[in-house]
């Protein structure tokens, strides 16, 4: 991955500082596709400027023209009939649709339409070659009703196919790395015969699996990108139609009205500032939203009371509960978990009060510890040491005056 990034950075710097020569008209299709795919990779990672993106679009268009002239794919073939060397050219329309969408232009609608046409061409070609799953085809052909459940199931299936393709590509990459390490170790340990080397390096089937997994991954991304481009086109067409219908006068009038309201509000606030008393801070999120949207005033009193949720029939919950019987009936259907006993605002206010009490108690203890009477009642370490030393000296003097056994009369000869 680091090598790819280094190559991309070098290519980007060369394109910006030293533009590529225009003598690439005679390049063969494999070399042209490699150069175009590198530019597509840089554009996908947002490491390419607009000049490089347009250059990539030009190279991919030339690749598409060459593929059409050579007739590499036919409507009478399936994926088994396509050779491994030609599988990668199926990605040309997909690369072209993805990189075309990144072109920056004032009128974006033609860009969206061109990108959608390339993606539809790629999907149609894969459909002819039987590379698209049946469930994806059924929904795209409107054989299934376009419901929320069907769209959700389609997204889940598409996500699973995408993860399976990514896992397959990762496995093939790790397999190639292990084989490369084993080949290098075998070359160092013992010479490899010509036939054995061909057998070890024969990875045509593995390359085919890699390109098929790449095409499957590109199909999943193409369907998602096509849906996104359709929605973007619909929004842009609606905005354009609104502008053509109303013109810019409506927007300018709305902006002027908002500007006047903002200026009047600031002017009135500046006039009231010297005489008005600052309002208490709003600690309730719902009340703050009501104030911002004009449903309430800052001066209104607001109590942070948590209203418990009531479950039950809509006729009881929606209407007023006039009797104890109706209230109990509305509370029959209760959830299987504990309901909150207070709102977030109430919990925050309670914690704030606890912290204030704790700070007051801590400040009081610090004040008492620094007071004079508290200091008088405690002795210093030096005084404690002096007292211990005096006690030890008094004990030594007593032992000198009273030797061991002096008071025992039985030890004396005349006892």
| Domains of the chain (ranges, CATH numbers) | 23-142+229-256 (1.25.40.540)
The CA distance from 90 to 63, in Å, is: 11
The CA distance from 209 to 87, in Å, is: 10
pLDDT, position 74 = 81
pLDDT, position 392 = 92
Quote the pTM value. Answer: 0.52
Do the Cβ atoms of 46 and 77 come closer than 8 Å? no
The CA distance from 345 to 307, in Å, is: 12
Q: Which of 86-100, 201-215, 367-381 has the largest mean confidence?
A: 86-100
CA-closest candidate to residue 95, choices 127, 119, 120, 70: 119
CA-closest candidate to residue 52, choices 10, 3, 114, 4: 10
Q: Which of 106-120, 245-259, 369-383 has the largest mean confidence?
A: 106-120
Do the Cβ atoms of 29 and 89 come closer than 8 Å? yes
Question: Is a pLDDT exceeding 60 seen at residue 282?
Answer: no
DSSP letter assigned to residue 192: P
Least confident range from 118-132, 231-245, 385-399: namely 231-245
Phi, psi of 136 (to 5 degrees): -70, -35
Do the Cβ atoms of 42 and 52 come closer than 8 Å? yes
**Cα dihedral 29, 179, 215, 209 in deg (nearest 10):** 110
The CA distance from 172 to 182, in Å, is: 15
Q: Buried (b) or exposed (e) across 142-167, using 16+ Cβ within 10 A?
A: eeeeeeeeeeeebeeebeebbeebee
CA 4 to chain centre: 24
Structure-block tokens of residue 163: 């993860």
pLDDT, position 5 = 45
> What element of type H or E holds 67?
helix 50-70
Alpha helices in 91-147 (DSSP H): 92-100, 109-128, 134-140
* Per-residue model confidence as pLDDT tens digits over 338-361: 777 888 888 888 899 999 999 999
Q: How confident is the model at residue 106 (pLDDT cuts 50, 70, 90)?
A: confident
Helix (H, G, I), strand (E, B) or coil at 382: helix
Q: How confident is the model at residue 1 (pLDDT cuts 50, 70, 90)?
A: very low
For every residue of 305-348, DSSP letters joined together read -PPPP--S-HHHHHS---SHHHHHHHTSS--SSPPPSS-HHHHH
* Per-residue model confidence as pLDDT tens digits over 269-281: 666 655 555 555 5
The CA distance from 231 to 220, in Å, is: 17
For every residue of 291-313, DSSP letters joined together read HHTTSS-TTS-----PPPP--S-
Q: CA neighbours within 13 Å on the CB side: how many for 233?
A: 16
CA-closest candidate to residue 120, choices 234, 219, 43, 211: 219
> What element of type H or E holds 70?
helix 50-70
The CA distance from 318 to 22, in Å, is: 74
């Amino acid at each position: 991955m680091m090598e790819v990034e280094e190559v991309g950075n070098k290519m980007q710097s060369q394109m910006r500082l030293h533009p590529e020569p225009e003598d690439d008209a005679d390049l063969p299709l494999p070399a042209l596709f490699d150069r175009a795919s590198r530019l597509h990779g840089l554009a996908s990672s947002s490491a390419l400027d607009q000049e490089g993106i347009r250059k990539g679009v030009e190279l991919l268009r030339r690749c598409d023209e060459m593929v059409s002239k050579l007739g590499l794919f036919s409507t009478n073939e399936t994926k088994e009939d396509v050779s491994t060397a030609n599988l990668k050219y199926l990605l040309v329309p997909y690369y072209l649709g993805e990189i075309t969408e990144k072109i920056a232009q004032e009128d974006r609608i033609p860009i969206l339409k061109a990108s959608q046409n390339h993606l539809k061409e790629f999907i149609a070609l894969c459909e002819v070659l039987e590379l698209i799953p049946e469930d994806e085809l059924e929904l795209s052909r409107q054989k299934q009703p376009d419901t929320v459940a069907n769209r959700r199931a389609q997204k889940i299936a598409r996500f699973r196919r995408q993860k399976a393709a990514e896992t397959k590509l990762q496995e093939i990459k790790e397999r190639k790395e292990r084989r490369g390490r084993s080949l290098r170790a075998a070359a160092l340990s013992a010479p490899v015969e010509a036939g054995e080397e061909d057998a070890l390096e024969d990875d045509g089937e593995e390359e085919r699996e890699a390109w098929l997994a790449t095409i499957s991954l590109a199909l999943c991304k193409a369907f998602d990108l096509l849906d996104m481009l359709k929605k973007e086109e619909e929004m842009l067409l609606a905005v354009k139609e609104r502008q053509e219908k109303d013109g810019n006068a409506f927007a300018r009038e709305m902006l002027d009205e908002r500007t006047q309201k903002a200026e009047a509000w600031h002017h009135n606030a500046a006039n009231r500032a010297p005489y008005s008393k600052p309002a208490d801070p709003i600690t309730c999120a719902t009340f703050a939203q009501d104030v911002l949207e004009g449903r309430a005033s800052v001066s209104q009193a607001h109590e942070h009371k948590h209203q418990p949720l009531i479950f039950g029939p809509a006729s009881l919950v929606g209407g007023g509960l006039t009797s104890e019987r109706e209230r109990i009936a509305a509370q029959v259907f209760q959830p299987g978990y504990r309901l909150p006993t207070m709102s977030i605002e109430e919990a925050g206010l309670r914690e704030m009060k606890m912290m204030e009490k704790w700070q007051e108690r801590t400040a009081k203890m610090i004040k008492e510890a620094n007071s004079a009477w508290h200091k008088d009642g405690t002795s210093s370490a030096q005084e404690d040491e002096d007292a211990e030393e005096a006690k030890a000296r008094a004990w030594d003097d007593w032992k000198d005056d009273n030797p061991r056994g002096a008071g025992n009369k039985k030890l004396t000869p005349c006892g």
